[in-house]
Structure 1
Amino acid sequence: MGDRLTQLQDAVDQLANQFIASFYYIERHHDLETFGPNDKIPDLKPEQMQQQVDTLPAEEFQAGQLELARDLITKEQQIEYLISSLPGLDNSERDQEQSIRDLEEEIGVAEAQRLEAVKEKDEVLAKLDQVLRAIRRH
């Protein structure tokens, strides 16, 4: 997983794709009704209309719209969460510096443990080498 900003950018890109998919779904599957007196339905031949609009039954169309709306809301909530986790006004520069110092201290402890483990490994290898040499002599 990337850092928070990368995750946020990916989520915004996914939201944009979801918007486009939602518009396409509505454009492709709506019923051919007018909403106002100036709206016009073009006179298309049946084969042309089949290419432009694939009308779905009202219940199926509404269920699809509901699912798309829920997906958009879920993605928006994910974006809000990512934004809230970014450092900002709630995290002062001093708090961030302290966090960095704490992490550096943890890294120092982990490095000391690693060096101790390497030293122990070398000692065990030396003992094993002595044992193997002793076995070969006998």
Structure 2
Amino acid sequence: MGDRLTQLQEAMDQLCKQFVATYYWLERHHDLEKFGSNDKIPDLKPDQVKEVESVDPETFKAGQLELARDLITKEQQIEYLISTLPGLDNSERDQMQMIRDLEEEIAAAEQQRLEAVKEKDEVLKKLDSLICMIRRYK
């Protein structure tokens, strides 16, 4: 699993896809109604594709409710991810102190690495001299 920002971006992408899918479902399954006295619902020709596949009102209402719940659940996941991001509860001074502490840790780790490299070089020199000595005695 990625870091918090990656998770947040993926959740936002999923929410956008859910919005599009919800819009498509609602637009595709609504009931055809007239809004004014001059409105007409055209009759379809046999070779014409239906733009709307109406479902009964109970199924439509249930679908709306399920889609709304899914959107709310995803939004709550996003809110949770946002709340876990670092820095929301820390002042700028606290964040700067955390950065300084991390820099000190990095400096200590770098010092250990340099010592390990130096030790490795010394061991390699000793090993090289031992190999040279063995070659001489053969």
Say yes or no: TM over 0.5. yes
Matched-pair identity in %: 55
Runs of 4+ in 1 over 3 A off after TM superposition: 1-4, 6-14, 36-41, 46-49, 54-65, 68-71
- The match for 2:42 is 43
Distance across 1 between alignment mates of 2:72 and 2:30: 25
TM-score (norm 2): 0.70
Mapped to 2, the partners of 1:99 and 1:65 lie a distance apart of 45
Q: Cα RMSD over matched residues?
A: 3.4
User: Which deviates further from its counterpart, 7-16 or 98-107?
Assistant: 7-16
Alpha-carbon distance between aligned partners in 2 of 1:62 and 1:131, rounded to the nearest angstrom: 81
The aligned counterpart of 1:77 is 76
What is residue 115 of structure 1 aligned with on the other side? 114
Aligned partners of 1:41, 1:114: CA distance in 2, in Å? Answer: 79
**More helix by percentage:** 1
What is the count of residue pairs matched by the alignment? 132
Higher relative contact order (CA 8 A, sep 6+): 1
Larger Rg: 1 or 2? 2
> 2:16 maps to which residue?
16
- Return 5+ residue gaps in structure 2 as ranges: none
CA 1:55–1:43: 2 relative to 1, 3 Å: same
Within-5 A mapping of 1:24-35: 24-28=24-28, 30-32=29-31, 34=33
In 2, the alpha carbon distance for the partners of 1:125 and 1:56 equals 79
